[in-house]
């Protein structure tokens, strides 16, 4: 049960967003820019970074939600998402993404944990300044979202079949207030 | 020197904000709503204090000094008094409700899962509303983002702490949205 009366029975972040629309608005805009920009990193790379950081923060709702979104971008390759979460070094992803996940993992611990070597490795693997910037800010944003979701003890659906439905909604319509204002995606919808 | 070429020599978060204005906009809008909007029963000083305290726990020099100075400006106390709160708020004269909210913020800094129902109930018994608890959690969480953004890119920070105190009245007057990053 959530720590405070959120006045809705929406899941996870959606519940906190609906409780506080004035803070949800800039967060939604930030997520839309960071997670759906097609410049530099791909959408699947962005979502994998978010999934990985959420996994490290042990945020059940976020890592399953963003893992499901990444899965759609990866044409249903659930195994790859699982590998990135648990052992990205051995996943079939680019060296660049591996180096960026290493930076994201450091940011999860502390901004100060990122070293010049981490940055150098990413550069050598082809990461641009903007890729590095976005990786740091995506990882940092998930350190906020994971704490927001779990710090209020929002409800995470135990019905795992609901995650791909919400993921599909994000992939098709993006981040923003519609994800808590409109009816939640249900399995009987197409 | 910052890890990437930010194409400006601004200190702290202003460096990456000027580098990527698209993300700076919502980051600043969030700060404005959380820290400065007056439709809130926590004072601006109390909210800045939560941000300064979390930044201190995250060892982010730039953020703890910016927001420590902001808290000092609103609460009319000096650097030493803010430092005393950051180091051991329990032994200072702040309200019991604020102590309970800072304890929640400290848990959030470690992990969202560290916040307990007991902590929240305790804060509620001392008069904290659901809204105040929500805002405390989100302010603490947001600073876990801002601090990582600032330090993860290894931005530079002025070491003279008076720099931050001197700027606080201007930031308090202008707010976090309509201001010139380069000034």
CB within 8 Å of A47: residues ≥ 6 apart? A35, A66, A67, A69, A70, A73
In percent, the amount of chain A with pLDDT more than 90 equals: 97
Domains contained in chain A, number = 1
Residue A67 pLDDT > 80: yes
Kindly indicate the confidence band of residue A190, based on its pLDDT and cuts at 50, 70 and 90: very low
pLDDT score for A188:
57
| CB–CB contact A119 B4 (8 Å) | yes
| CB–CB contact A144 B142 (8 Å) | yes
Domain with residue A109: its CATH number is 1.20.1290.10
Assess B137–A contact: CB distance below 8 Å, yes or no: yes
Residue A187 pLDDT > 90: no
pTM over 0.95: yes
The pLDDT tens digits for A18-44 are: 999 999 999 999 999 999 999 999 999
Residue A189 pLDDT > 80: no
- Measured between alpha carbons, how far is B121 from B124 in angstroms, rounded to an integer? 5
> Do the domain assignments include residue A186?
no
In percent, the amount of chain A with pLDDT more than 70 equals: 98
How near does any CA of chain A get to the CA of B155, in Å? 10
pLDDT score for B178:
86
| ipTM score for this prediction | 0.98
Mutate which of B152, B153, B176 to disrupt the A interface (most A C-beta within 10 Å)? B152
Residues of A in contact with B130 (CB under 8 A): 4-5
Query: Rounded mean pLDDT of chain A?
Result: 97
CATH class of segment(s) B27-174: mainly alpha
pLDDT score for A7:
98
User: For chain B, which residues make up each domain, given as ranges?
Assistant: 27-174
For B6, which residue in chain A has the nearest alpha carbon?
A: A129
| CB–CB contact B149 A137 (8 Å) | yes
Computed over its alpha carbons, how large is the radius of gyration of chain B?
A: 16
> Do the domain assignments include residue A61?
yes
Per the listing, tokens 């923003």 go with A176
Q: Which residues span the domain enclosing A54?
A: 40-171
Assess B134–A contact: CB distance below 8 Å, yes or no: yes
- Measured between alpha carbons, how far is A114 from A105 in angstroms, rounded to an integer? 9
Assess A167–B contact: CB distance below 8 Å, yes or no: no
How near does any CA of chain B get to the CA of A150, in Å? 5
pLDDT score for A186:
85
- For chain B, list residues with pLDDT below 50: none
| CB–CB contact A153 B117 (8 Å) | yes
The mean pLDDT of A149-174, rounded to a whole number, is 97
Nearest CB neighbour to B115, from listed A3, A5, A20: A3
Mutate which of A34, A147, A155, A174 to disrupt the B interface (most B C-beta within 10 Å)? A147
> Do the domain assignments include residue A185?
no
Q: Helix, strand, coil: what percent of chain B each, to 5?
A: 70, 0, 30
> Do the domain assignments include residue A24?
no
The mean pLDDT of A149-169, rounded to a whole number, is 97
| CB–CB contact A3 B141 (8 Å) | no
Q: Which residues of B135-174 are buried (b: 16+ CB within 10 A; e: fewer)?
A: bbbbbbbbbbbbbbbbbbbbbebeeeeeebbebbeebbee
| Higher pLDDT pick, A3 / A190 | A3
CB within 8 Å of B35: residues ≥ 6 apart? B44, B47, B48, B51, B70, B139, B176
> Do the domain assignments include residue A160?
yes
| CB–CB contact B145 A143 (8 Å) | yes
How near does any CA of chain A get to the CA of B147, in Å? 7
């Amino acid at each position: 049960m959530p720590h405070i009366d959120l006045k809705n029975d929406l899941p996870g972040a959606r519940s906190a967003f609906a409780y506080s629309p004035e803070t949800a608005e800039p967060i939604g805009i930030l997520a839309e820019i960071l997670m759906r920009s097609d410049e530099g990193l791909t959408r699947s790379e962005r979502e994998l970074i978010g999934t990985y950081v959420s996994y490290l923060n042990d945020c059940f709702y976020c890592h399953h939600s963003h893992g499901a979104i990444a899965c759609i971008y990866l044409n249903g390759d659930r195994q790859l998402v699982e590998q990135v979460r648990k052992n990205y070094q051995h996943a079939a992803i680019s060296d660049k993404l591996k180096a960026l996940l290493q930076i994201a993992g450091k940011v999860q611990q502390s901004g100060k944990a990122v070293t010049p070597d981490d940055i150098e490795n990413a550069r050598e693997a082809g990461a641009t300044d903007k890729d590095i910037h976005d990786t740091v800010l995506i990882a940092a944003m998930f350190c906020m979202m994971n704490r927001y979701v779990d710090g209020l003890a929002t409800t995470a659906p135990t019905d795992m079949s609901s995650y791909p439905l919400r993921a599909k909604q994000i992939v098709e319509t993006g981040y923003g207030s519609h994800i808590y204002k409109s009816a939640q995606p249900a399995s009987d919808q197409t | 020197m910052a890890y990437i070429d930010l194409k400006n020599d601004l200190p702290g978060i202003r460096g990456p904000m000027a580098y990527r204005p698209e993300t700076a906009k919502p980051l600043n809008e969030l700060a404005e709503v959380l820290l400065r909007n007056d439709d809130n029963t926590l004072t601006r000083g109390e909210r800045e204090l939560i941000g300064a305290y979390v930044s201190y726990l995250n060892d982010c020099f730039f953020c703890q000094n910016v927001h420590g100075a902001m808290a000092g400006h609103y609460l009319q106390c000096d650097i030493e008094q803010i430092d005393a709160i950051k180091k051991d708020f329990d032994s200072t004269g702040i309200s019991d409700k604020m102590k309970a909210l800072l304890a929640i913020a400290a848990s959030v800094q470690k992990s969202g899962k560290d916040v307990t129902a007991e902590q929240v109930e305790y804060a509620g018994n001392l008069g904290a509303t659901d809204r105040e608890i929500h805002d405390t959690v989100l302010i603490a969480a947001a600073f876990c983002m801002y601090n990582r953004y600032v330090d993860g890119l290894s931005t530079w920070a002025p070491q003279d702490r008076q720099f931050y105190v001197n700027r606080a009245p201007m930031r308090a007057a202008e707010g976090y949205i309509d201001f010139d990053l380069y000034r």
